[in-house]
Amino acid sequence: MNFIGIIPARHASTRFPGKPLIDINGKSMIQRVYEQACKSITIKKVIVATDDERIKKHVESFGGNVMLTSANHPTGTDRCFEAFQKEEGKFDVVINIQGDEPFIDPAQIDLLCSCFTAKENVQLATLIKKLNTLDDLVKENTIKVIVNKKGEAIYFSRSPLPHHRGLDINNWMNKHVYYKHIGIYGYHSSVLKEITQLPQSPLELAESLEQLRWIENGFKIQTAITDGESQSIDTPEDLEKIIASFPK
């Protein structure tokens, strides 16, 4: 089974314009993501898929593979599909690597890939992590995941789910193992085409989570549990925290 890693990278961002090109201790964010992805022992090729000529030229300057894509894609999944269509090599699985996680662990990428090799007929896959704090449980931007006994995601929500009726929320985590979503996706190549042709669904619009569109249309999302934490940069404040963490 052949795997390709695609890093969607937009220059426009409501909260942080030009984010892929920001400097993090001497290297741009997109270069750091690219170099971490290339350390995967499973992925055969890594490509940056961007809508911006500045990002394209920058990736070329450090010797990375890059492809110019449409500026009209509503999601990173759609951008991945265009890049996959244009790629000449044959790949069975596409791994969508978030372009705002400069220190992504290559072992997490390999763990996601293993979902497709360990089990037959996996359509989609993602990572989850045990949720450890009440703050994360109630935080809207921490996406909670409910899985079935097969490890397949059956719902994603910004709300704390499941809801323990009649129990103080401070005790919920003593009664149930909660998981949060780690935002990296794997798509079987045939399924990637199908999901990009689906119209937005009511659940997706309600929660603003595209993966609910896939579930609502009957696709199965296999999960794997990771102990690693993702460290994304969404705002200038996040960048300041990252830079402060480097040794002086």
**Which letter does DSSP use for residue 41 in this model?**
S
Model confidence at 244, pLDDT cuts 50, 70, 90, reads confident
Structure tokens at 129: 């992590």
Tokens 């089974």 label which residue?
Answer: 1
**Which letter does DSSP use for residue 200 in this model?**
P
| Cα–Cα distance, 88 to 192 (Å, whole number) | 17
Average pLDDT over residues 146-159: 97
| Cα–Cα distance, 203 to 100 (Å, whole number) | 25
Q: How many CA atoms lie within 13 A of 92 on its CB side?
A: 13
Closest CA to 124 of 98, 144, 146, 154: 154
Tokens 């009649």 label which residue?
Answer: 166
pLDDT 10s digits, 88-134: 778 999 999 999 899 999 999 999 999 999 999 999 999 999 999 99
The pLDDT value given to residue 89: 78
pLDDT 10s digits, 169-186: 999 999 999 999 998 999
Name every residue whose Cβ is closer than 8 Å to that of residue 32 and which is 6 or more positions away in sequence: 24, 102, 103
Range with lowest mean pLDDT among 6-20, 168-182, 216-230: 6-20
pLDDT 10s digits, 223-234: 999 998 777 777
Model confidence at 14, pLDDT cuts 50, 70, 90, reads low
Torsion sign over Cα 210, 139, 115, 228? positive
Closest CA to 78 of 247, 210, 179, 245: 210
The 3-state DSSP class for residue 141 equals coil
CB 54 within 8 A of CB 21: yes
Instruction: Report phi then psi at 134, rounded to 5.
Output: -65, -35
Domain range annotation of the chain: 3-234
Cis peptide leading into residue 162 (ω within 30°)? yes
**CATH code, 3-234:** 3.90.550.10
Name every residue whose Cβ is closer than 8 Å to that of residue 235 and which is 6 or more positions away in sequence: 15, 16
